[in-house]
Amino acid sequence: MLSARSLFQEIVDHDDSFQLFCSIAASGESQGGWENARIAALVPGTLRDLAPKITRHGADEDKHGRIFRALLRRRGLPAVPVPPETDYTMLLERRGIGLAHDKLRREEPLSERDVLVYLAHSRVTEQRAADQMTLLLRHFGDHPEIGRAVRVISHDEDNHLAYCHEELLRLARRGHGPAIQRLLRASALAEIAVYRDVSRAVMDHMGRLLRWPAPKRAALSAGIGAVYAYERFSGWHRMIGLRQPGRPDPLGGRPVPAPGPA
């Protein structure tokens, strides 16, 4: 029977699939680290109080990239190039979601609207990351090889999501509520389509590496399509709601260190 646990166990147990998984994850986290560092440097004067939190967010993403690269090193595996069809971050950018890398490479200060775009994009993508890590935590939190990494990253992703909620609510109280809701809706609808496409691309690569039979590949593709249909019909609404986090200032405490020598 197909299950998230059995599928991921197959990926972890096989060097080639584990290598691709960690390479994709490390690349995405490193991109996120760079983006947040640039946003922190360019945040407008009216929102300078956000800069330390954005910097912390970026530092966490960089740490996650190091964790995935360390997992590869422990198996004696080098990182491999990320297939472009699995590059979640860049595919979102091509759909106009988030801040374009060209903008972030300039030395021009961002506008308040740019910061709203960043936070709305982050609220949606951090929801996805937090959900995925919760799933991995449930099944692999005690795994001898990857358990500590899963626990650290899951904790961080929960904090990142809470931070997005807190800051968007603060900005909504300053009169940005309608703009925030429009940006959240556009981000969520684009994200669920990109997530579907990336999921299928990743599973296609894993299927070749693990030599999955055609019926198994077809069942996985159908399952991914069913998730997309649910999210497109109504599931996307949970990605745009805002609620005050249980612990205030979730990015204001001490960061959780990376496990081992990562």
DSSP 207-251: HHHHT--HHHHHHHHHHHHHHHHHHHHTGGGGGT-----SSSSTT
Q: Which of 45, 43, 66, 2 is nearest to 259 (CA)?
A: 66
Question: Is residue 34 included in any domain, yes or no?
Answer: yes
Supply φ then ψ for residue 55, to 5 degrees.
-60, -45
Question: Is residue 94 included in any domain, yes or no?
Answer: yes
How many angstroms separate the CA atoms of 40 and 230, rounded?
35
Question: Is residue 244 included in any domain, yes or no?
Answer: no
| pLDDT tens-digit profile, the chain (262 residues) | 578 889 999 999 999 999 999 999 999 999 999 999 999 999 999 999 999 999 999 999 999 999 999 999 999 999 999 999 999 999 999 999 999 999 999 999 999 999 999 999 999 999 999 999 999 999 999 999 999 999 999 999 999 999 999 999 999 999 999 999 999 999 999 999 999 999 999 999 999 999 999 999 999 999 999 999 999 999 999 999 999 998 888 997 666 677 765 4
Question: Is residue 41 included in any domain, yes or no?
Answer: yes
Question: Is residue 98 included in any domain, yes or no?
Answer: yes
How many angstroms separate the CA atoms of 49 and 10, rounded?
45
Question: Is residue 258 included in any domain, yes or no?
Answer: no
- When divided into structural domains, the chain yields a total of 1
> Domain of 126: which CATH number?
1.20.1260.10
Structural domain for 147, as ranges: 14-239
Question: Is residue 117 included in any domain, yes or no?
Answer: yes
Question: Is residue 40 included in any domain, yes or no?
Answer: yes
